[in-house]
Structure formats: C-alpha cells, structure tokens
Structure 1
Amino acid sequence: MFRRLLILPILIISLLLLAAPGAFAHATVVTTSPTDGQLLASTPHQVSVTFDEPVELQFGALRVFAPNGTRVDTGSPDHPAGHADQVAVGLEAASAPGTYTVAWRVVSADSHPVQGAFTFSVGAASATALHPAALNPAGSTAVGVAYGVARTVAYAAFAVLVGASAFVLAWWPAGARTRPVRLLLGSAWGGLFVATVGVLALQGPYGGGFGIGRVWDTGVVRATLSTRLGEALSVRLALLVLAAGLLAWLVARVADASRRARLLAAAAGTVLAVGTAATWAVAGHAGTGMQVALAVPVDVAHLVAMAVWFGGLALLAGIVLSRRGPADPDEKARLVRRFSPVALSCVIVLVGTGTYQSWRQVGTPSALTGTAYGRLLLVKLAGVLLLIGLGALARGWIARHRGSQTTTATATATTTTTTTAIRSLRRSVACEVAVGVCVLALTSALVNAAPARTAVAAGAGPVSASVAFDTGGPAGTGTVQVTVDPARTGTDTVHLYTLGANGAREQVLEIEASFGLAAQNIGPLPVRLRASGLGHLTGTVAVPVAGSWQLAVTVRTDDIDETVVRIPITIR
C-alpha cells in the first residue's frame, strides 16, 4: 500500500518540474533611462534600469546593441551611487544614429533571475540587425529541472531530520538503538547536506542562464558564494556540520541519557532547526518585500512546524507502525497518542502562519485565480485540507483505542484486534505522508514562482512615457520622461525627469504638471512636485477614475521661454 501511494507524489513532482519554466520574474522594472521607445537627439552617456527592489549583478548583465548588432556598452554594469535597485552601464561616444537595443539580466533579492529588453533611438528610428536570440540566454532545461529537484529534496530531508529527531528525543529514546531509525536519520542528514551543495552548485548556472557544464566552474561557485543565497547556503552547511555532532550523540547516547541531558539536547536541536529554517526564510520571498521583520520569523515558524509534523508522520508510517517498530501494539498506540497533540499544535501553527504568508504574497482574492502563484497556492491549500482530514481520522482512531485494556482471558483476541487497528492506522498515516510529499513539492514550486502581488503589480503598472520639448530659446531642447506608479485609481506617485539634448539629466528653470481627463471634463488636477535630485522631480496626485488621461507638463528654460507638452497616461 505504501509503495503504491508513493506513485502519486512522484507523478506530481514530475509534472511540476516539467511544467515549470526555468525562471520567473520577481523584481519588476520601475523605469529605464532612456525610456522604452524614446527618441534622442544624441547618444546618451549611459543607460540604466531601475527595479522595485535590490538586485544582484554576480550573474547579471546590461548590454547595449547598435543598429548593426554590435555591442556599444563600455565597462561593467554596476549600481550607480550605491543604489542596489538600479543597474547602469556606459556607452561609447559618437555612436551611429538609429535604433538601439538594451538587454538586461539580473538576479532578484529572492535569488531568481529576471531579464528583459527595451529599445531607444538616436536621431531617427531604424531597423536593427540584432537577432532576438542574442538578447538573453533562455537557460538550460536540465539545470532548471535539477535545481527544482535539489530544492524539493532539501525541504523533505529537513522535515524528516527535524521531525524524526524530535520524535525520538521526546517520546521514543529507545528507538535510537534500532538500525531503521539510525538509517532514516543518517539518510535525512545526508540528503539535506547533498541537496544544499547541489543548490549551491546549480544557483550560478540557474541565475546566469548557463548550461549544466558550468555547475562546478570555480569562478561561478565563488560568485554564488558572494550572493545573498550563497551566504545563506554557507550558513546552512555550517549548521549541518554542528548538527552532525548532535545527531551522533542522539543515536549513541540518548537511550541511556538523563532527563537533563535530553533537555539540553532538545534546546541545542531547536536552535539548529530554527537557524537552518532561517536560511530559507532570509533568502526567499519572506526576506524581501513588505514587513520583512515579521515575515521572516513567521516563515521560520511555518517551516519548523511543517518539519515536526511531516517528519513525525514519516517516522510513524515508515518505522513505528511497521514490523520494524516496537513489537508491542500497545507501545505503538502509546507513541501515536503522545505525538497526536503535538501534530495538532503544528497544524494550528501552519494554518496561522500560512494565512499570513498567503495574504502577504497574494494580496487580493482575484490574484488567487489570476496568477500562477495563486493557482499553485490553491492546490497546496487543498492538499493541506486533505492532510487535516486524514489527521482527524487518526485522532478518531486514538479516541476509539484510548485506554484499551488487555485481560488474561482475552489476550489473544485483543492483541489480534489491536494489530489490525495498527495496520488500519498505518494506512491512514501513509496516506498523510504521500499527500505531505505532494505539498512539499508544491511548496518548492511556490518558492520558485513570482508572488501574486509581484505578478499583479507587473501587469498593472507603473507606466512610463517620454516626449521631446523645445521652448524656442537657447539650450531649450530636451526630453521629459515620466513614470506614474502604480497607474491605478487612487493615489499615484509621479516621477518627472528632464534630459538635455545629449540625453543626460539637466535641471530646467521651472516645471509644472497636471492631469486632465477631457472625456469626462475632469481636471486639471495639479501635481505638487518637489526636487529629488538633478533633473528629477516627484509628486503625488489623486486620480478618481480610470481612463485615458493626459499629463500636461509646462517646461520653462528661462524667464521668457517655455512650452507645454502633453503625455497620454492610461490609468487602470
């Protein structure tokens, strides 16, 4: 029965790995300079891309291609003025007129690669000889599949290691003497260690879009170690080395240890388990976005509760309730009764922390069905509900068999009945383990997917546009760039940039802006602007309804020369 049940999670894991693309967009672009499609009078000194969160450049690139397809960027991309959310690269001077293509690839704060491209023109738009395949690498399917497998194995091994260790330490110290328990604990530790090394080796090719042959490239590994995820994985490996010593003590000494020694071991194990769980939290979705200070400990609690529950179930189904467990059926039943309230507590923690995580990553009910993350989350929630139902069956079994007594006259009959009941419980727990493996696979897929909030934000804004201006006076030509974020009804933030004829930011004497919606006779709605740097002004405006608005920008370059340019902005 147990072997047949394993077919289900294996099929689900395979489908998830085959259906999932190699990378998902997590960090989103706020603005580019020049803006997409902008027409400039001369070649800018540099191009830049600004994101909504810090990004890493270890495996990133910002490349600029001339109309004939040749590279015209100079130097290496960097974060200008220490802005971790911005990437810039210089351009060659005196480049040919025509349409230029900018391709970017970076690694977002939650360790996933993001990429894209945009164009701008100098002098006049033109055709380009650049082939689309040359813009950004598509990534290796083999690397993507191996990366997903390694992350799933790491989750499962962590759960079994923590949950089985806690079970043995708290309720079944004598089990540490048995070969099956030692084999399970050793395999879980080894699986987690190997999977962590695998993720560390695969992160570079995954983030950089390289082939499987670059897995053990020392330069790629060194670059990975300097990333946020690389540092977290290094800490995890160090914690696993410490855990190996505690595990050796557990299998060799816990059966005869005093209560005080077991309490000290439990405290040390808790610290190691929490620390290991934190290496996932700080380098994943919880470590970026809003409320990080709350999200990280909530994610840690979620992972530890999952591990105690799932690992305990795996030990029950695989060893305790099988022929390899205690010979006395009453002892088996006692262990199940001891584990049951802890499992229920873990479920309560999982529901509470999972609800917060779902709200943080999804945001709105429509995002549940309108994004890949939301749909995966719904499937995972269905699996969790099924687990809770199977757990209720197990608690019902405990209620029916609690306090059963064996008498001399009916010893044989009672033992037979208890053995049959144990077999029935083992089938129920085996089903829980099988569904739990599916939930772990879905968790791995969710970690690799763009949060629903990010996906919705990427599809809803911000909106960027640009238009040339000419006040008619000396040095009166240039470009106005505007970004409206999030370009939805309500309060929107407006960023205005003024660029000179050479494409560099320049300060003008005065600039004013207002929104109007002629179709409904609304406006003008003035935007209160304030200086935010050279050639950069920001302000806010309350937009009451959706529609095709126009942003009127008045540009004054001296006391008498000014002009008004109008930029269409779609508010959703």
Structure 2
Amino acid sequence: MTLTRERPKARLGGRVLAMALVAAACWAALLSLASPVSGDIPQLRSSSPGVGSTIRPDDLVLTFDRPVNARLATVRLMDPYHREFDPGRPAHSGDRAETVMVPLPKQKYAGTYTVAWRVPAGSLAVASGTLTFDLASRSPVQEAPKLSGPGVLETVSYWFSQVAALAATVLLVGAAFFVAFVRPASAWSTRVRRLVTYGWVGTVGFTLASLLLFGPYAARLPVTDALRGPLPAGTFSSSTGANLLARLAILGFGGLVLAQFLTSEEPRNDRERLARSVTVLGCAAALAVTWTLCVPGAPDLLVAATVPLAAVLVLAGGLAFSLRRKGAGAMSAAAGAVLLAATAFPLLNGLPRDAAPQAAPARLDFGLAGQAGYGFLDVAVAPAKTGENTVHLTTLDTRDIATDGSTVTAVLNPPDHGTPVPVSLHRAGTGYQTGSVTIPRPGQWELALTVDSGGQRQDIYGVVDVRDAR
C-alpha cells in the first residue's frame, strides 16, 4: 500500500484574498511605521547661556534649526579651571524637539566654560562643534573636551548586521518565489523548506541586531551601552529605528504568507500561481524599501525593484542549477548577482562620514531705550562658503530666552566695499529668523544688522569669514 500526503484544501478565492490582504498589510506597515532618513545636517543657531551671559542657569541648552535626536547626542564641558565634566545623557528642553539640554555642575565657578557637542545627522554622519559661554565673568578660554570617535567594533557590527540582513532577505525572497511560482511542488522539499526558514530567521535576527546596535553606533558609545539609559528610546525615536521596526512588522506578515505556501495545496492554475508570485514580490518590495530609507539619497524605487528581482534570479537560478538545468540556472544566477551588486552599492557606500565641525554662533548685544530694548543676537551663517548660505538669527532677552520683542533686517557688505547683498529673512519660530543668501566670493564679509524695537533702531555689525567652496 502506498501512502501519500495530502495538503489541506481551501477555496481558491479565499486563498487569493488572504494573500492580497497580507501584501496590503506589509505596505500598510511600511507606510505607517517607516520614515525616510534625512541627509540634512542640523545647524546650531543659539546657546543658553552664551558669551557674555550674567545669569547662572541650572542647564545648558543648545538650539538647532531643526528637530534633533537629543537621546543620541553627546555633550562634554570644561570649566574655567580646566576640569572636564560629563553631564550625562542629554534630553530635550521641555517639549522643544530642536533643543539639546544637559545639566550644569551644581558647583559653578565664575568664568568661561568650553563645550564640545555632537548630534546625529541621519544615519551616516554626525554634526559637531565647540563653543564657549560665560558665567558672571570672562576668563581665558580652555581647550575643548575631546569626544571619542566612531568605534571600530560598533561601526563594523552595525553595518555587518545590515548587510547580513540584506543577504538573508535575498535567500528568503528567492526561495519563496521558487515555491510560489517556479516549482510549487518543492514546498515539501526539505532543502527548500530549510532555505525559507534560514532566510526568514536570518532576516529577523540580523534586523534585531541592527536595532540593538544602532544606538551605540549613532551615539559613538561602546556597544555595552546598547540597553542602558536613553539609548533604546533614542533608537526607537529615530528614523532608522522606525525603518527597522517596519521591517520586523513586514517580516511578521510575510511569515503568514510563507506558512500558507508551505501548508496549502499546490496552485490549481496559472492564475493562482501568478497571484502567489505577485504577493511575494509585493512583500519583498516593501521589505527592500526599509533599507533604502535608512540611506539618505539612495534610489528607493530602483532598490525596491531590483532586490526582489535579484533574489528571484539568484535563488531560482541556483535551485534550477541543482536540478540539472545548468544553462538557465547559470544565466539566472549571474544576472541576479549583477543586479544585487548594483543594488547593494548605495547601501555599502553609505558608511559614516562626519560633517565638518561647526563654528559657534556669534553673540552680538544691542541696547535700545525701553523695557524690551536690550538683549542679544545669536548669529550663525552656514556653511560660510562661497555659494548658497543660510543665515540664522535668534533674538534673546537678558535671561537668554528667545523673544519676539524686536525685528531684525540683515545685509552682507563685500570685502571690497562693493554692492551690498541683502539677506531675505523670514520668521521661523519665537525670536528666530532665517533666510538664504548667495555669497559670490571668499573673504571677510561684514554682516550689517538693523534691530528695530518699539520704533527705535540700532545698527550692529559682525564679520563673516567666507571660504572658497572649491
């Protein structure tokens, strides 16, 4: 007597509907959880306290031109007596997402403090810089504290987990497509089942590793700090963390498709076989986007299309080769390898590159008659090179609090006293104005600012050292 295994039967319409719902769930998870990583570098525009401050606050607050991930930032201080102070992990000031705040030492000394700071910018670089501030009086400026660079272990571990997850996904998608379209009968094959299992478990495992390692990698901290303090929360609140969580959600829904393929009966016709293959490619495309969203400027649509296609060609070719269809197998595997290499290039090319250190905002004081007529202007011009530049102006009162009590206009005067270049400013927040200006040549440009408060005006001047962008 011959024994045969029969797969549970289900209605064709129900199976197709279930596959369509799972594919839709994958894209819903992607659209609801994922977030593209920005390649823009946050610009420090103000600090409190600042140069010339007479207050003795409890906290140091750095204000940027855009929201930043404070939990992954680093701040170190040097007091007037050359003693370094670690204030601990930063946080936001209140609900202001554009700020980084750390507590100042309880024992404060009059004089000038030096600060070194670092803030993650996307997943590939960090913005950093140094500044000074005064408490009650000024003193000789001390050397800025040294911040540790990116650790080899943290960088290699994080990027290895990302690349390994990509390789596991290729294995997973290729094996799933082989089962769904090329040879559905192989679902009972031990070899194919192992490939599917290894691919799914590998992608989930290495994605979890990436989620664990991103915090130390981005914050430039030892990998042993991965689960300490605010690092996990910093990872989850970052765009990269959101993309990794979306990847895990897609893998969860994809696991349902795999379970259905491996336990249900074979497709009854070409229509059902096509529906299965489209489901695999749809889920794989959503999965592929989670990598490109982690790399600013990566060609999302190209990668989303080529990762599934490369996976299909590599695995289908390999399996066909193993079934002695050597000609077709070799051609498919070779084409898939080329596509995969072209796809992985923007990912591997996105190794960390730190942005150039930023100059501290210049602080200018102004004084006009009236209660709201005295205060400070924190001025930042970035990148201070020939070409397009952005001017940031923050108006502060004597307590270093941003205020709308005054309006400011700005003009850049060239080094040769030629035609002035006006700066078109617009309000971007409380006490904050910003605008773009094109600086045609290098040199020391004079920034002429006119402060208008209550109908009274005062002209104040600063110098911008513009470098050649070439």
- Range of TM-score over shorter length: 0.7 to 0.9
User: Is contact 1:42–1:503 with CA below 8 Å preserved after alignment?
Assistant: no
> Kindly tell me: are residues 525 and 164 of structure 1, through their superposed partners in 2, closer, same or farther at Cα, counting changes over 3 Å?
same
Does the CA-based 8 Å contact 2:47-2:63 persist in structure 1? no
Which residue is equivalent to 1:314?
314
Candidates 104, 111, 128, aligned match of 2:142: 128
Aligned position for 1:101? 114
- 1:96-131 deviations in whole A, cap 9, x for unaligned? 2333223334444x4456253412142324253875
Q: Does structure 1 conserve the Cα–Cα contact (< 8 Å) formed by 2:128 and 2:357?
A: no
Give the corresponding residue for 2:17. none
Equivalence map 1:182-331=2 (5 Å): 182-215=193-226, 221=232, 224-253=235-264, 255=266, 257-285=268-296, 299=300, 301-321=301-321, 324-326=322-324, 329=325
* 2-structure distance, mates of 1:102, 1:461: 12
CA–CA separation in structure 2 for the residues paired with 1:191 and 1:176? 19
Q: How big is the shift at 1:41?
A: 4.2
Match of 1:31 among 31, 44, 60: 44
Report deviation, 1:149. 1.1
Give, in angstroms, the shift of residue 516 of structure 1.
1.5
CA distance in 2, matches of 1:140, 1:465: 32
Corresponding letter in the other structure for 1:552: A
Provide the alpha-carbon RMSD of the alignment: 4.3
**Alignment partners' CA distance in 1, 2:144 and 2:426:** 41
Which structure has the higher relative contact order (CA within 8 Å, separation 6+)? 2
Note if 1:86 corresponds to 2:99: yes
- Whole-Å separation in 1 of the counterparts to 2:225 and 2:201: 24
Amino acid paired to 2:115: V
Q: C-alpha displacement at 1:162, in angstroms?
A: 1.8
Are the structure 2 counterparts of residues 527 and 273 from structure 1 closer, same or farther at C-alpha, using a change threshold of 3 Å?
Answer: closer
Normalised TM-score (structure 2): 0.72
Find the counterpart in structure 1 of residue 20 from structure 2. Answer: none
Q: State the alpha-carbon separation in 1 of the partners of residues 150 and 345 from structure 2.
A: 22
Task: Confirm whether residue 522 of structure 1 aligns to residue 418 of structure 2.
Answer: yes
Letter in 2 for 1:120: T
Which of the numbers 491, 496, 500 marks the counterpart of 2:393? 496
Residue 195 of structure 1 deviates from its aligned partner by: 1.0
Alpha carbons of structure 1 residues 172 and 51: separation in structure 2 relative to 1, 3 Å: farther
| Overall identity of the aligned pairs, in % | 26
Report if aligned partners of 1:514, 1:553 keep a CA contact under 8 Å in 2.
yes
Q: Which amino acid aligns with 2:113?
A: Y
Range 146-155 or range 262-271, more displaced: 262-271
Distance 1:556 1:274, change over 3 A: closer
SS in 2 for 1:241: helix
Question: Size of the alignment, in residue pairs?
Answer: 428
- 1:551 to 2:462 alignment: no
1:416-435 alignment runs, 5 A limit: 426=330
1:463 deviates by 9.0
CA 1:485–1:263: 2 relative to 1, 3 Å = same
Structure 1 distance, partners of 2:257, 2:428, is: 55
Q: Go from structure 1 to structure 2 and tell me whether the alpha carbon gap of 1:96 and 1:478 turns closer, same or farther (over 3 Å shift).
A: farther
The aligned amino acid for 1:241 is: G
Contact 1:526/1:541 (8 A) holds in 2: yes
Distance in 1 (CA, whole Å) between partners of 2:361 and 2:399 is 20
Map residues 460-471 of structure 1 onto 2, 5 A cutoff. 464-469=361-366
Higher mean Cα deviation, 56-65 or 467-476? 467-476
* Other structure's SS at 1:523 match: coil
1:484 counterpart = 2:387: no
The one-letter code of the counterpart of 1:118 is T
Answer yes or no: is 1:161 the counterpart of 2:175.
no
SS at match of 2:420: strand
Structure with greater helix share of residues: 1
* Structure 1 contact 495–536 (Cα < 8 Å) conserved: yes
Q: State the 1:501 CA deviation.
A: 4.8
TM-superposed deviation, 1:151: 0.4
Aligned equivalent of 2:68, options 18, 34, 55: 55
Cα-to-partner distance string for 1:444-471 (whole Å, 9 max, x where unaligned) = 3234445xxxx8xx56999953444567
Report if the CA contact (8 A) 1:67-1:127 is conserved: yes
What is the alpha-carbon distance in structure 1 between the residues aligned to residue 101 and residue 228 of structure 2? 27
Unmatched 5+ residue regions in structure 1?
1-24, 287-294, 337-424
SS in 1 for 2:163: helix
Mark the CA change 1:200 to 1:497 in structure 2 (over 3 Å): closer, same or farther.
closer
Deviation readout 1:494-528 (Å, 9 max, x if unpaired): 33334445544456666543221242x41334445
Deviations 1:513-546 (A, max 9, x none): 3221242x41334445555555444455554544
The change in CA–CA distance for 1:475 and 1:107 in structure 2 (over 3 A counts) is closer
Name stretches of at least 5 consecutive residues in structure 2 with no aligned partner.
1-37
| Closer/same/farther in 2, CA of residues 254 and 151 from structure 1, 3 Å limit | farther
Structure 1 pair 150–546 and aligned structure 2 pair: CA distance change class (3 A): same
Pick one of 79, 87, 97 that aligns with 1:66. Answer: 79
Pair 274,255 (structure 1): closer, same or farther in 2 beyond 3 Å: same
Structure 1-normalised TM-score? 0.61
